[in-house]
Amino acid sequence: MTPRTRAALQLLAENLRRIRLERHVTQEELAERAGYDTRMIQYLESAQRNVTVECLAAIADALGVGMEELFAAESVSGARHPTRAHRKCK
């Protein structure tokens, strides 16, 4: 896997988890709504699995967002999402 691909998967993982939690949706609920197994959501949220456009579209629809939001470096409000490199340790 290339560094660019790894970075995209990490961004997807962070955004997917953030959006899901903002909507108070469990991994199980999201999987059911999107028509996938819960393990797929777990793999995606941990950046362990590559994903198809079909799967992304189903997940985005289930969350009520556009696919572009899953890869956005900034939120719709313009606030930058923290990445692992930018998070402060507590």
pTM of the full predicted structure? Answer: 0.78
CA distance 53 to 30: 17
pLDDT for residue 75:
54
* pLDDT tens, per residue, the chain with 90 residues: 899 999 999 999 999 999 999 999 999 999 999 999 999 999 999 999 899 999 999 999 999 999 999 999 865 544 444 443 333 333
CA distance 1 to 25: 30
pLDDT for residue 83:
40
- What are 74's strand-pairing partners? 80
The two tokens of residue 6 are: 């790894």
